[in-house]
Amino acid sequence: MASETVSAASLLARAEVAWAGGDGEAAMAFYGRAVDLAEADGDLQTRVAAVLGLARGQQYNLTPGPLPVRLHAAYDASTEPGPRAQLAAALARCWAYANEPVRARPFAIEALDLADGLDDPLLLADALDAALASHWGPDDLARRRDWAVRLDEAAAYLRDPNARLQAQLWGLTVAWEVLDLPRMHRCMRAMELLGEESPRARFFAATRRLPLELLRRNHDVVGVLVDRAEAAAAETVIPDAEGVLHGMRGFGAFFTGDVAGCAAEAPAFEAYAVDFGVTAVRAEGAVIWIGAERLDKVAGLVGAFTSDVLAALPRDADWLLILQCVLEGAIAIGDRELCADLVDHLAPYAGRSVVNAGAVMWHGVTDDTLARGFALLGDADASARHRAAALATYDRIGAGWWRDRLAATLGATTPPTDERVVHLHEQPGGLWLVGREGATFVLPRMRGLVHLHRLLTEPDRDVPASTLVGGEVVQQPGLELLDEEARRAYRARVESPDTDEVERAWLLDQLGAATGLAGRRRTTGSSDERARVAVRKAIVAALARVAEADPWLGRHLRDRVRTGTECRYESDPDHPVCWVLQTGR
């Protein structure tokens, strides 16, 4: 009897059936055979589909093996923009998941450029997902915020539940990064509704619900959510399911004070980190060993983070997470040398929220570990400043466990004064940290923030608008808005009893617009005038964004900043403000 003929297309079909049925191992085997057979047959379409199927099975943080080679070979062979965009996006994710963001980014940008030129929302959503994954570092938050909004718009009307799920996952992740609680809850609700359509969405909804419940100290639901996630994982293929479930159990035990539970889960973290060389899992494992009250184990895990290792860490999704967790370990064992190194790396990122990749777990704010780190190093002033900031943030978002731990760890700080501490400075990566200590927020770089920063560095001094714009306008003399003859005519009409109220109001507006401070005649077309207008518009736009997040600060700056040909910030001696105008202070 003749053997059944096997084609690349038939293998691809069997792979899809296995994947849909939750058999990931069989699916990967079929996809791999389909790639090889399609390449031998010169069937590029089937080859592309099969290698994209292989990419779906990649595990996060692990070496990808031959996958990037196979993806790149198909990418090189493809000339059509659609398949090439898909393969570029898959290559970007492949390298991003393997902690190689520098390799990932060019492919992500190409995928996005190609997708932008095609009328295909699904392809655009895929490219945006790849762009987000490959720009997941601590300095890319401004880009992620913009791309997450674009992804939500692109995926909103797609039938594919996976595309809509990815949009909500990114929305949730970015919301955690900026601690936007309403957005977190909206994304969670959307994911739970998607869970009615697919077990994959049910898995992600259960796992991402856990940190939100831990934030609110709803510890009783930990077991329920773990069971729900485990049941969903049994119905579908989730490449990282086992690691995520270990994380749920381990951190569930940590936050509930279950020493035995931490001791039961910590060895799995340590073994995985050592066997596969996963730095982030090593760092998180140190935290679980803290919960198990095994400081000897903590020392063993964090001891690997020498100065050279820390300096070489890729600035990817895990960078802030690793520093935060290793600093927890260094503080726990009292390692001042390691603590000093970590604080030096982390201090420029004060005020940041630390979330595990994909919002699997929340690790507090950097001000928390910085406060305890500076206390260990003997810097009481810095410790008090970061402690106050962290406690205010935890109060704002209702993070009771975090607040109580920090309050109990460090004693009372210096008695408060009437002076307010307010941040307004650029952070690494281009975002600006703005707001009162403990209630800071981030804004994208705006020209008006740059102008305000300059004025704040020279309080109570006039700064020419032309200096603020830095020569961006062409120097030229201006013409008066109204010459003397026109002024006399307008005034005469204003004083005439025959002039009605509408005309009189218009005439007064014109006279007012033509008159500057102290009765000076205003000109138009001059470089000084155009600089004045440009600076005023930029500052007004920036103040509007500031006031949305902090009405007090917006009002203070509106009341104290003067714009015109000469600009200034006037300090208020009765209500002093201590401005923090550079990062790391």
In order, the DSSP letters of 84-132 are: HHHHHHHHHHHHHHTT-HHHHHHHHHHHHHHHHTSS-HHHHHHHHHHHH
The mean pLDDT value for 39-47 works out to 95
pLDDT at 2: 42
Beta-ladder partners of 428: none
The mean pLDDT value for 5-23 works out to 93
Strands (E), 414-506: 420-426, 432-436, 441-443, 463-464, 479-480
Look at residues 585, 545, 579 and name the one whose alpha carbon lies nearest to residue 560.
579
Report yes or no: 351 and 367 within 8 Å, Cβ to Cβ: yes
Helices (H), 98-240: 101-116, 121-134, 141-155, 161-178, 181-194, 199-215, 222-235
Indicate if the pLDDT at residue 476 is higher than 70: no
Q: Which residue has the higher pLDDT, 247 or 357?
A: 247
pTM, full prediction: 0.76
Which pLDDT tens digit goes with each residue over 168-184? 999 999 999 999 999 99
Beta-ladder partners of 566: 464
**Rounded to an integer, what distance in angstroms lies between the CA atom of residue 335 and that of residue 181?**
35
CATH class of 420-475+529-585: mainly alpha
pLDDT at 304: 95
Report yes or no: 35 and 50 within 8 Å, Cβ to Cβ: yes
pLDDT at 183: 93
Indicate if the pLDDT at residue 473 is higher than 80: no
Which pLDDT tens digit goes with each residue over 130-151? 999 999 999 999 889 999 999 9
Q: How many Cα atoms sit within 13 Å of 150 on the Cβ side?
A: 21
Structure tokens at 130: 């790849």
CATH class of 177-416: mainly alpha
Within the chain, which residue ranges are assigned CATH 1.10.10? 420-475+529-585
Q: Which residue has the tokens 């990037």?
A: 68
Indicate if the pLDDT at residue 525 is higher than 70: no
Angle at 568 between CA 566 and CA 574, to 5 degrees: 150
Which pLDDT tens digit goes with each residue over 257-311? 999 999 999 999 999 999 999 999 999 999 999 999 999 999 999 999 999 999 9
Helices (H), 357-477: 366-377, 380-397, 400-409, 447-457, 465-469
Q: Would you call 518 helix, strand, or coil by DSSP? A: helix
Report yes or no: 407 and 392 within 8 Å, Cβ to Cβ: no
**Which DSSP symbol is given to 349?**
G
Look at residues 288, 277, 218, 211 and name the one whose alpha carbon lies nearest to residue 254.
288
Q: Which residue has the higher pLDDT, 55 or 504?
A: 55
Residue 158 — φ and ψ, nearest 5°? -80, 145
Residue 315 — φ and ψ, nearest 5°? -85, 75
pLDDT at 175: 94
Percent of the chain with pLDDT over 70: 89
Radius of gyration of the chain (CA): 29
The mean pLDDT of the chain is: 89
Encoded amino acid at 52, one letter = L
Within the chain, which residue ranges are assigned CATH 1.25.40? 177-416
**Rounded to an integer, what distance in angstroms lies between the CA atom of residue 264 and that of residue 46?**
46
